[in-house]
Amino acid sequence: MSPTKITAGRPALLAFVLGVLVTIPGNAYRLNAADHPVPESPLWLTYSGDKGPGAGKHVVLIAADQEYRSEYSMPMLARLLATHHGFHCTVLFSLNKDNDVDPTQKIRWEDKTVTHNIPGLEHLEKCDLAILFSRLVSLPPEQLKYIYNYLDSGKPIIGIRTANHGFIDFDYRKDGKKIDFGESVLGGSFRNHHGRWQQDSTRGIIVEQNKDHPVLTGVKDIWGTSDVYRTYKEGGGLPEDCLPLVEGQPLMGRKHDDAVNSELIPLPVAWVRTWTGNAGHTARVFHVTMGSAQDFQSEGLRRLTVNAAYWCLRMEADINGKSCMDIVGEYNPPDSGFAYKQINILPRNPSFYK
List, as one string, the DSSP characters of 69-134.
Answer: -HHHHHHHHHHHHHHHH--EEEEEE-B-TTS-B-TT---TTT-TT-----TTGGGGGT-SEEEEEE
How much is the pLDDT for 132? 98
Give pLDDT < 70 ranges for the chain. 1-34
At 297, is the secondary structure helix, strand, or coil?
helix
Angle value at C-alpha 170, between 164 and 172, nearest 5 degrees: 100
| Number of other CB atoms surrounding residue 255 within 10 Å | 11
How much is the pLDDT for 22? 36
**Residue 332: phi, psi to the nearest 5?**
-130, 70
Whole-number Å distance between alpha carbons of 87 and 14: 34
Whether the CB-CB separation of 206 and 139 falls below 8 Å is answered with: no
Whole-number Å distance between alpha carbons of 339 and 243: 36
Whole-number Å distance between alpha carbons of 312 and 128: 10
pTM of the model: 0.90
State CA 317 to chain mean position distance: 21
List Cβ neighbours of 142 (8 Å cut-off, separation of 6 or more). Answer: none
How much is the pLDDT for 19? 41
How much is the pLDDT for 34? 60
In Å, the largest CA–CA distance within the chain is: 83
Structural domains of the chain in order of their starting residue, each with its CATH number: 13-192+269-333+349-353 (3.40.50)
Whether the CB-CB separation of 212 and 251 falls below 8 Å is answered with: no
Whole-number Å distance between alpha carbons of 238 and 204: 17
